[in-house]
Chains A and B, each alone.
Chain A
Amino acid sequence: MKQARKFLLPLAVLAAAIGLVACGGGSDNSDEEAVAGAFEVLPGAPPDYAKVSGDAELTRADGGTTAEIELSGLAPNTAYVAHLHTGGCDQPDAGGPHFQFEKGGSEEPPNEIHFEFESDAKGEGSAKATADQEVPAGEAGSIVLHLADDHGTAMAASHAEFASLFVHEGEDHEEGDDHGDDGAGHDQGDDHGGEQDAHSDKIACAELEGGGGTAAVPTIVVRNGEPVGGIKQLEYSAGEQIRFKVSSDEKEEIHVHGYDLMQDVPAGGTVEFDFPADIEGIFEAELEGQGVQILELTVNP
Chain B
Amino acid sequence: MSWLPFAHALVARQDLPVPAWLFAWGASIVLIVSFFALAAAWRKPRFERERWRPLGAGLSRALLSPPTQVVCGAIGVFLLGVAIYSGLRGTEAPDRNFALTFLFVTCWLGFPFFSAIFGDVFRPFNPWRAVGRAAGAGFQLIAGQRSAHLRYPEKLGRWPAAIGLIAVVWLEVVYGASGGVAVGLDPHACAVAALVYTGYTLAMMALFGTEEWCERGEVFSVYFGMFSQLGFLGVEDGRLGRRMPLSAATRWATLPGSAAVVIASIATTSFDGAQEGAFKEAIESVFEWLSETGMDLTTALRLTDTIFIALCFAGVGLVYLLGVRGMRTVRGAPSFAKLRAGFAHTLIPIALAYLVAHYFSLFVFQEQAQFTYLLSDPLGTATTDLFGTASGGIDFTILSANAIWYVQVGALVVGHVLGLTLAHDRALAYWPDYRDASRSQYWMLAVMVAFTCFGLYLLSVSNG
Which residues on A are within 8 Å of B, measured CB to CB?
A: 1, 4-5, 8, 11-12, 15-16, 18-20, 22-23, 25-27, 29, 31, 226, 230-231, 233, 257-258, 260, 278-284, 286, 290-293, 296, 298, 300-301
Within 8 A of A (CB), among B1-56: 2-3, 5-6, 12-17, 20, 23-24, 27, 30-31, 34-35, 38
Chain A residues near B338 (CB-CB < 8 A): none
A296–B439 contact, CB under 8 A?
A: no
B401–A20 contact, CB under 8 A?
A: no
Q: Whose C-beta in chain B lies nearest to the C-beta of A227?
A: B3
Within 8 A of A (CB), among B283-322: none
B12–A27 contact, CB under 8 A?
A: no
Contact status of A300 and B16, CB under 8 A, knowing A19-B30, A280-B401: yes
A20–B27 contact, CB under 8 A?
A: yes
Q: Whose C-beta in chain B lies nearest to the C-beta of A288?
A: B93
15 A-B residue pairs with CB within 8 Å: A11-B446, A15-B449, A18-B449, A22-B450, A26-B461, A27-B17, A27-B20, A27-B461, A260-B393, A279-B13, A279-B396, A279-B397, A291-B183, A301-B401, A301-B402
A258–B13 contact, CB under 8 A?
A: yes
Interface on chain A toward B: helix, strand, loop, or mixed SS? mixed
Chain A residues near B20 (CB-CB < 8 A): 26-27
User: When chains A and B are docked, how far (Å) is the Cα of A26 from the Cα of B23?
Assistant: 8
Chain A residues near B72 (CB-CB < 8 A): none
B396–A291 contact, CB under 8 A?
A: no
B445–A15 contact, CB under 8 A?
A: yes
Pick the contact of A20 from B3, B17, B31, B461 — CB < 8 Å? B31
B31–A16 contact, CB under 8 A?
A: yes
Residue-wise, chain B 420-437 has the 8 Å CB interface mask toward A (1 for contact) of 000000000000000000
Q: Does B453 contact A (CB under 8 A)?
A: yes
Q: Does B192 contact A (CB under 8 A)?
A: no
User: When chains A and B are docked, how far (Å) is the Cα of A271 from the Cα of B14?
Assistant: 25
Chain B residues near A8 (CB-CB < 8 A): 439, 442
Chain B residues near A1 (CB-CB < 8 A): 331
Chain A residues near B439 (CB-CB < 8 A): 4-5, 8
Sorted nearest first, the 7 A-B pairs with minimum C-beta distance are A15-B446, A23-B27, A280-B401, A19-B449, A257-B12, A282-B14, A258-B13
Pick the contact of A25 from B401, B446, B457 — CB < 8 Å? B457
B457–A23 contact, CB under 8 A?
A: yes
A278–B397 contact, CB under 8 A?
A: yes
User: When chains A and B are docked, how far (Å) is the Cα of A51 from the Cα of B393?
Assistant: 45
Q: How far is the CB of A242 from chain B (nearest CB, A)?
A: 14
Q: How far is the CB of A64 from chain B (nearest CB, A)?
A: 18
Known: A18-B449, A22-B450, A293-B182. 11 other contacts (CB 8 A): A15-B442, A15-B449, A16-B34, A16-B449, A22-B454, A25-B461, A258-B13, A280-B16, A281-B401, A282-B16, A291-B5
User: When chains A and B are docked, how far (Å) is the Cα of A11 from the Cα of B445?
Assistant: 11
A22–B457 contact, CB under 8 A?
A: yes
A27–B453 contact, CB under 8 A?
A: no
User: When chains A and B are docked, how far (Å) is the Cα of A27 from the Cα of B461?
Assistant: 6
Interface size in chain B (residues, C-beta < 8 A) = 46
Q: Does B65 contact A (CB under 8 A)?
A: no
Q: How far is the CB of B404 from chain A (nearest CB, A)?
A: 8
User: When chains A and B are docked, how far (Å) is the Cα of A20 from the Cα of B457?
Assistant: 11
Which residues on B are within 8 Å of A, measured CB to CB?
A: 2-3, 5-6, 12-17, 20, 23-24, 27, 30-31, 34-35, 38, 180-183, 330-331, 393, 396-397, 400-402, 439, 442, 445-446, 449-450, 453-454, 456-457, 460-464
Pick the contact of A281 from B13, B182, B449 — CB < 8 Å? B13
Contact status of A290 and B401, CB under 8 A, knowing A22-B457, A25-B457, A282-B13: no
Q: Whose C-beta in chain A lies nearest to the C-beta of B330?
A: A4
A257–B13 contact, CB under 8 A?
A: yes
Contact status of A18 and B450, CB under 8 A, knowing A23-B23, A279-B396: yes
A293–B13 contact, CB under 8 A?
A: no
User: When chains A and B are docked, how far (Å) is the Cα of A280 from the Cα of B404?
Assistant: 10
Q: Whose C-beta in chain B lies nearest to the C-beta of A22?
A: B453
B27–A29 contact, CB under 8 A?
A: no
A291–B181 contact, CB under 8 A?
A: yes
Chain A residues near B3 (CB-CB < 8 A): 226, 230-231, 293
A18–B446 contact, CB under 8 A?
A: yes
A258–B182 contact, CB under 8 A?
A: no
B27–A19 contact, CB under 8 A?
A: yes
Q: How far is the CB of B188 from chain A (nearest CB, A)?
A: 16
Q: How far is the CB of A170 from chain B (nearest CB, A)?
A: 35
Chain A residues near B460 (CB-CB < 8 A): 25-27
Q: How far is the CB of B279 from chain A (nearest CB, A)?
A: 13
Contact status of A292 and B450, CB under 8 A, knowing A22-B457, A27-B462: no
Chain B residues near A31 (CB-CB < 8 A): 464
Q: Whose C-beta in chain A lies nearest to the C-beta of B442?
A: A12
Q: Whose C-beta in chain B lies nearest to the C-beta of A281?
A: B13
Q: How far is the CB of A5 from chain B (nearest CB, A)?
A: 8
Chain A residues near B457 (CB-CB < 8 A): 22-23, 25-26
Chain A residues near B400 (CB-CB < 8 A): 280, 301
User: When chains A and B are docked, how far (Å) is the Cα of A267 from the Cα of B2?
Assistant: 25
